Amino acid sequence: MGDGARASAPAWRRVVVKVGSSSLTDEDGRIHPPRLWAIARGLLALEEATGRTPVLVSSGAGAAGRERLGLRLPLTLPQKQAAAAVGQGLLMLEWARALAPRPVAQLLLSAGDVHERERYVNAKNALRASLEAGAVPVVNENDSVATAELRLGDNDTLSAWVATLAEAEALILLTDVDGLYDADPRRSPDAKRLAEVADPGVLGAEVAGGRGSARGTGGMATKLHAARIAHDAGIETWIVGGGGAALEAIARGERIGTRIAAGRTRPAREAWLAQQHGVGRVRIDDGAVRALRSGRSLLPSGVTGCDGTFRFGDAVDLVAPDGTVVARGLVNYDRDGVVAIAGRHTREIASVLGTKDYDEVVHRDDLALIDAPARTGVEAADPVAPEPAREDR
């Protein structure tokens, strides 16, 4: 369906909206209340259309804090943390005013909250409780204490994880770019905006484009990464420009920007496993590949070797003989243990290791298959040439 075409109002049970800094701030990095309030009106329009409170992932804290403290780029890590700490309060105050009389709930997350299972469940419960209490959740990364090793890195990625936490059906990435293009429109005058993408896994680097405005840390590459996370979790993604007006258009049922379709719906635990970072690799034979794809566990007899270092309970990639990652799972033995029992029958585990805690290297309940990208096309819209932009918190 073309740009601005009519459709039925969205029937999503839950939607997550991510707003970038360039959509909230002026050229000097200050929060621009008219833009923010327009987005708040768009959020309320979505709530009216869907009957469910949307979840907001909001950038802008770092930019607001820099302006309030009189800091100029580049910043040291402690300065970034201070700016985030000051700016987060300013940002929440503006959202509380714009969404009044609805209460707002601040949720600050970090990488551990999505990669460590217990913390993930705790974050999920906090988000659900906020919604049940009638509050609008406003989520950001906890940049005031985050370091490079402890952060997700951008709010596009964060928003995809929040969408899985919220069990959302749609993720809207609101930016000042009107969609995803088949090439960088700054370098390719004939670049076409993609109205519909069936599988983000088939899109190459030329679609991601480059850096744009100086008020952010993301870009199309991070939005595409977020769309892949959402797709694999069974969530559709919309990349749209136009601020609050775009949200109101979507609430009316208009098809704007780029829609990236949802993949197959997974159980929550499987979706979480699929998106973890494998800290090591377990190489398996063709028989094990067939067994995994038929819903069975990985036994030692199917293991041919290991790469990297991992411990009991770590997420590892299960790799076919041709190098394809076919599954990701939580391993029941450390690397040395897996190497020692590779290719052996389960009855030999105790004699090799001196004990046997598990028959399986990875149990079927602790693994997720990694689907190969479907080789499908995309639907292009009429070309427009906006200025691509980067986003941050």
Chain mean pLDDT for the chain: 87
The predicted-structure confidence for 69-79, as pLDDT tens digits, reads as follows: 999 989 998 99
Which residues on adjacent β-strands are paired with residue 105? 137
Q: What's the token pair of residue 116?
A: 């460590």
Q: What is the tens place of the pLDDT at every residue in 211-229?
A: 444 344 457 889 999 999 9
**Lowest-confidence region among 144-158, 182-196, 197-211, 256-270:** 197-211
Residue 143: per-residue pLDDT: 80
Report the pLDDT value the prediction gives residue 275, as an integer from 0 to 100: 86
How many degrees, rounded to 5, is the angle at CA 249 between CA 17 and CA 186?
75
Residue 386 has pLDDT above 50, yes or no: no
Q: Taking 50 as the threshold, does the pLDDT of residue 336 lie above it?
A: yes
What is the average per-residue pLDDT within 24-47? Answer: 91
Other beta carbons within 10 Å of 386: 16
pLDDT, residue 162, reads 96
Say if residue 384's pLDDT is above 90: no
Confidence of residue 177 (pLDDT cuts 50, 70, 90): confident
Taking 50 as the threshold, does the pLDDT of residue 62 lie above it? yes
- pLDDT score for 379: 53
Q: Is 147 helix (H, G, I), strand (E, B) or coil?
A: coil
40: confidence class by pLDDT, cuts 50, 70, 90? very high
Averaged pLDDT for residues 116-126: 90
Task: Determine the pLDDT at residue 381.
Answer: 54
Lowest-confidence range among 177-181, 183-187, 279-283?
Answer: 183-187
pTM (predicted TM-score): 0.80
pLDDT of residue 209: 56
How confident is the model over 258-281, as a mean pLDDT?
Answer: 89
Residue predicted with more confidence, 150 or 116: 116
What is the model's pLDDT at position 269?
A: 84
Task: Answer yes or no: is pLDDT of 341 > 50.
Answer: yes
Between CA 96 and CA 94 the distance in angstroms is: 5
pLDDT at position 109, please? Answer: 94
The full set of domains in the chain, from first to last, is: 15-264+375-380 (3.40.1160.10), 278-369 (2.30.130.10)
Encoded tokens for 335? 């690397």
The more confident residue out of 8 and 233 is 233
Pull the structure tokens for residue 237: 């993604």
Residues 119-150 as b or e (16 or more Cβ within 10 Å = b): ebeebbebbeebbeeebbbbbbbbbbebeeee
pLDDT of residue 186: 76
**Predicted local confidence at residue 279, as pLDDT:** 94
pLDDT tens-digit map of 368-377: 998 654 433 4
pLDDT at 264: 83
Could you give the percent of the chain with pLDDT greater than 90?
65
Rounded Cα distance, 306 and 310, in Å? 10
**Letter for the amino acid at 367?**
L
